[in-house]
Every structure is written in C-alpha cells, then in structure tokens.
Amino acid sequence: MALGGRGRLPLVRAFELGLLTGLVYLAGTLYWITRVMVTYGGLQTSVAVLVNAALVAYLALFPAAFGVIVRRIVIANGPLAIMAAPLVWVTTELGRTYLLTGFPWVLLGYSQATVLPIAQLASVFGVYGVSMVVAAVSAALAAIALGPQRRDLRIVAPAAVVFAIVVVVAVWGRQRAARADWTRSGDPVRVGLVQGNVEQGVKYDAAHAASIFQDYLRLTRQALDGRAEFVLWPESSTPFMFEENPIEAEQVRALARRAHVPILLGSDQIEWQVTGSRRVPARYFNSAFLVEPDGSTGSVYRKIHLVPFGEYVPLKRVLFFAAPLVEAVSDFSAGDKVELLPIGPHQISTAICYDIVYPNLVRRFVRDGSELLTTITNDAWFGTTSAPYQHFEQASMRAIEEGRYLVRSANTGISGIVDPYGRVLERTAVFQQTVLVGPARFLRTSTFYARHGDVLAYAAAIATLALLVASGRRVQ
C-alpha cells in the first residue's frame, strides 16, 4: 500500500482502516461489557450489544484519528515519516485517557505486562513509554515492508535503530529485574488478602447479608492466624453501609482491637444533608475505610474514577433507549481528594477498582507519600471472561511505574501481591473463597516516572502537533 505519490492513501480510506483496527482491537477486549449490562443492568441482549457497540465505536475513533494523522505526516514528509507513528499512537492513548473522563482500558503497553524485561521501561516512562516501544516495532516492520517496494534502503536504517533500542531495553530491563534491589529495602509487612467470593446476584440480598458478613469475619481471623499484620477486604465487601450500621461495624472494630491489626475494607458511604428538621441523603460514594488497630476509623478514601455503565451512566439523555440500565446503575458521586491511609508510622494508598487503570492518579498517591499501593475491587461483574485478568495485569503495571509493592484484594479474584518489578509473588484463582497471606514492603524509593510522570507522552503529543503544523497544506 503506497503512502505517497500517485498511490497515496485516500483520507477516507485512512480513517476507515484506523476505525476498523480500533473496532477489532476494542471489541475483542471489551466484549464482556455486554454481559455485565444484560446480567446486572436489566437490558435485553440486543440493547446491551447496541450500547457496548456505541462505546467501542467511540473508542475506535482514536485509532481512526491515528490513521488520519499518520497519513498526513507520511504524505507530506515521505515514507520515512512512518517512524512518527509511535508518537501519534501515544498521543491518541493520552487522549483516550482523559477526554470525556477517559477510558484507558487495555492500552497497548499492557500487552507487555508479563514480559518483565520490556515492562521495566514503565519505571522510566510509564505505560505510555511501553506503548511507544510496541508501536515503534510495528512501525519498523512497516518500514521494512515499504522500503524494498520503493527501493529506498534509507527507510530501513530507522528500523534498525528501533530494534537496537528494543535489545538495549530488554537487556537493561532483565538486569534491573534480576537485581531487584528494592525487594531488600524498606520495612517488611505481612498482608492478608480476604477473597470472599460473593456472587454479585446475592451481594445485597438481605437474606444473605448475615452469612456474607460472618464469612468475612471468619476469613479475617484465618488471615490473622497466618500472622497477617494488615488485612484487606475487597471493594464494597460489607453487605451493609459501614457507617450506617454501628452494631455490625463494631464487630470489625473489635476484631481489629483484639488483634491490634489494621483492616482496610470497602463499603458504600452516604453524605447526609440537613433539610429543615430532616436528614436526607445528598450523595453516595464508593469508599474504602481504614479501621485502625484501636478500632477507630483512621481515614476514608472515596473512589475518584467511577465506572461508566456500572456506577453512573454517561449521556443519560442520549442513551434513552437504555432506560433499564439507567435505573439499575447506582448513581454514585466521584470523590475529589487523594487520601492517604496511615498504617503505624507509614502512609499507604488505595485505588478502588477502576481507579487503578489511571497511571497519574496512582502517581499522585506516591508523590504525596504512599509507601505501599493497595487496590480493592469487585470483579464479580465480569464473570468467566478475560476482564479479571486484564484488570490484574493493568494493576501490576502500576507497581513497576511507581517502584512500590502492590497488594490487591478482589471479591472473586484475582487477589495478589506484586513486587516493584512487576513480579507476581502470590495470586489467587478466580471464583474461590480463600485467604492469601504474604510479604510486602513499605518503600520510600522513587522511580523516574514517579518523579516526572508522563513527560514522554506529553512530549509525543507536542511532537505530533508540531509535525502536523510542519506538514502545512501540502496534503488535501
């Protein structure tokens, strides 16, 4: 496929190819949203498919924009400009992260989450830096395919540079992970991860509330028997609102006091408003409560990034045909504060479910002093799909970026412990009621990414804009 001269790719065709790429990429990774809306949102399958298709189509506009921008740059500057594709791709990923509250699920860099030598690059440039390397390899292969066709061997030279960079990154990354210096730093802590394995359909059924709660207390005692020094329950783990049910909450507080161990748990929270002589609910939050060793509430974190179609419905008026979903979805409010949680002399952070896929949010925790990353989630919604595995690998990338241990408690799994190099030290299977107790560390070290954030991604965006401007009006 020629990109210049008489055989230049038409603008519409570039858009279509980019859109098709996005549709295949995103429909293949977000297919599970349809199941969630049918099973828990009360939608008919046909309507759920339509809503999911609308989301995928919107997200596919970013790869479509990538295709259009690369076409313009290549036609204006010649075939060699195909090597600008990684800059453009990362720019579109940055847009996907922030536009309209963002949806940065399964960015390209996450494909390397288990390829630890390459994934170490995230400690320098974040997941966007890893995305850039993957996109650069694809661009290099395209350059090689294009070079002989045009009989211009100069286009192969940049491809050779890309492959050399990949080798250097892989060698450096392997050595970095092998040294694992930070696994011998900081203060150790044994964490207990409670996986209640509560089906979403019975989670808020009053008939099951008592047994669910007693299971969590029993599993917590099991974690304490395993010498856990800090226990985590999953997102929305209590079958009641922690602050609104003092009798049940006291059982958790008493358990913390007896063991002198902090317990982090997820529960919904109400912000009340006084109207005249009445107290009425003003806002609802998806929250995490830290119960201190003395039984008091040490701190509360309110989830900042809500799940679209799960905790709120975007564009409710436009999606009028999805009325059952709008009625079924809890209308939560987003938290607006990065809150750290005290564990003795240390400070930790927690990201609730969808929060963890936002790199800059987790970086803000570390910048403010978090020494241990925790994330609590309820992935029961996903069923037996690939979504729990996608979610876990995205969380693992945060450990590499920030140079922190990450511990994850998930209602139905995957719960686990990840070291600062992305190695999974412990993990559970999905859909099992279990307890995992294992080692982590409080760390105060810092990666380049933790200090400087997404400088590479924003530089890519500036470079992309500059290339577009430089292309002038030569492309119509």
Q: What is the DSSP letter of 384?
A: S
**207 and 170 assigned to the same domain:** no
Q: pTM of the full predicted structure?
A: 0.91
- Both 406 and 310 in one domain: the answer is yes
In this structure, the answer to whether residues 321 and 235 fall within a common structural domain is yes
CB atoms within 10 A of CB 28: 11
Question: Is 311 considered catalytic here?
Answer: no
The Cα–Cα gap between 375 and 13 comes to 43
Which residues contact residue 370 at a Cβ distance below 8 angstroms, ignoring those fewer than 6 apart? 340, 347, 348, 349, 404
Catalytic residue among 93, 229, 353, 402: 353
Regarding whether 109 and 154 lie in a shared domain, the answer is yes
160 and 211 part of one domain: no
Q: Considering the domain boundaries, does residue 449 fall inside one?
A: no
459 within some domain: yes
* Nearest Cα to Cα of residue 286 among 308, 311, 264: 311
Identify whether 353 is a catalytic site residue.
yes
> How many separate domains does the chain show?
2
DSSP class of residue 193? E
Element containing residue 196 per DSSP (H, E): none
- Strands ordered across the beta sheet of 373-377: 341-343, 346-352, 373-377, 406-410, 416-418, 424-427
Q: What is the pLDDT of residues 133-186, one digit of tens each?
A: 999 999 999 888 776 555 556 667 888 899 999 999 999 999 999 999 999 999
Which of 93, 303, 311, 402 does the annotation list as catalytic? 303
Q: Is residue 110 part of a domain?
A: yes
- Position of tokens 């977000």? 30
pLDDT value of position 426:
96
Render pLDDT for 85-139 as a digit per residue (tens, 0 to 9): 999 999 999 999 999 889 999 999 999 999 999 999 999 999 999 999 999 999 9
Do the beta carbons of residue 401 and residue 362 sit within 8 Å? yes
Strand pairing report for 373-377 and 424-427: unpaired
Supply the pLDDT for residue 325: 55
For the chain, residues with pLDDT lower than 50 are 1-6, 327
Q: Give the three-state DSSP class for 424.
A: strand
Q: Are residues 277 and 385 in the same domain?
A: yes
Task: Let me know whether 209 and 309 are in one domain.
Answer: yes
CA–CA separation, 364 vs 360, rounded Å? 6
Check whether residue 17 and residue 81 sit in a common domain: yes
Token pair for 78:
């010649």
Which CATH number characterizes residue 273's domain? 3.60.110.10
365 and 465 part of one domain = no
Both tokens of 73, joined, read: 């740059």
pLDDT confidence of residue 4: 44
Cis peptide before 247 (omega within 30 of 0): no
Q: Say yes or no: 404 and 310 in one domain.
A: yes
> 149-187 burial string, b = 16+ CB within 10 Å, else e?
eeeeeebeebbeebeeebeebbeebeebbeeeebbeebe
Residue 315 is predicted with a pLDDT of: 61
Q: 417 lies in a domain?
A: yes
Please indicate, yes or no, if residue 331 is contained in any of the structural domains: yes
CA atoms within 13 A on the CB side of 329: 22
Q: Which domain holds residue 295?
A: 186-444
Residues 205, 237 share a domain: yes
Q: Is residue 476 part of a domain?
A: no
Task: From 70, 66, 60, select the one nearest 19 (Cα to Cα).
Answer: 60
Give yes or no: 203 in active site: no
**319 and 419 share a domain?**
yes
The upper half-sphere exposure of residue 422, i.e. CA atoms within 13 Å in the direction of its Cβ, equals: 28
DSSP string, 407-474: EEEESSS--EEE-TTS-EEEEPPTT--EEEEEEEEE-----HHHHH-SHHHHHHHHHHHHHHHHHTTS
- Amino acid identity of residue 31, one-letter, is Y
Residue reference for tokens 């940055």: 94
